[in-house]
Amino acid sequence: MKFLTFVDLHDDKKYLKELVSRASKEDIDFIVCAGDVSQFGRGLLTVLQQFNSLGKKMYLIPGNHENDEMLKKVGGGFSNIINFHQQAVEIGDYVFLGYGEGGFVFEDAEFRKVARQWYGKYNGRKIVFVTHGPPFGTAIDKINQKYVGNQDFSKFIQRIQPKLVICGHLHETANKTDQINKVRIINPGWEGMVIELQ
């Protein structure tokens, strides 16, 4: 399976056009967005309309520029737009786990509750973990020589060992990759990355 993933578009018309063009190609099966498609809600409808018109599923979580309720309200009318905040979506042999919103948060009690349920249900499966904010302690969450990511995300990654982690929020680390143990972590940025999973 091959998909296009991106984050932190912030209603940028130039990159929206490029992403939609790339997503329309035959080799892309679906799209995954790790949040912040809008600029505090502005442009959300336009972005979702354009991706919905491709006829391919777009799985997204809210960032800190839109929230879960906003996505439900605006995106609910589109058949190809799936908000999977705090949800699991099974695609082929993989389980995509989505957790959005937030920003600079070291700990998240709500995430710990969701993570316990996910671990009990999906441990041992092939997992792609999608968050808006980055996990703590990698090149993806380091700005000004300080780690600013989420420690609960890192603990969950170490425990469940997903095949891939997709995150964003920090524009300074766009297009960077790193690892926690052997788990690959990416910030695909607003230009996006094409990922192929076996």
Q: What is residue 70's predicted lDDT score, i.e. its pLDDT?
A: 83
Tens digit of each residue's pLDDT (9 = 90 or more) over 123-181: 999 999 999 999 999 999 999 999 999 999 999 999 999 999 999 999 999 999 999 99
pLDDT for position 78: 93
CATH code: domain of residue 169? 3.60.21.10
Whole-angstrom Cα distance, residue 93 to residue 155?
24
Q: pTM to 2 decimals?
A: 0.96
Low-confidence ranges of the chain (pLDDT < 50): none
Q: Domain containing 156: what range?
A: 2-196
CA distance 149 to 120: 24
Burial of residue 174 (number of CB atoms within 10 Å: 0-12, 13-18, 19+): middle
* Total tally of structural domains belonging to the chain: 1
Q: Residue 198 and residue 141: Cα distance in Å, rounded? A: 27
Going by C-alpha positions, the residue among 150, 148, 141, 62 that lies closest to residue 101 is: 62
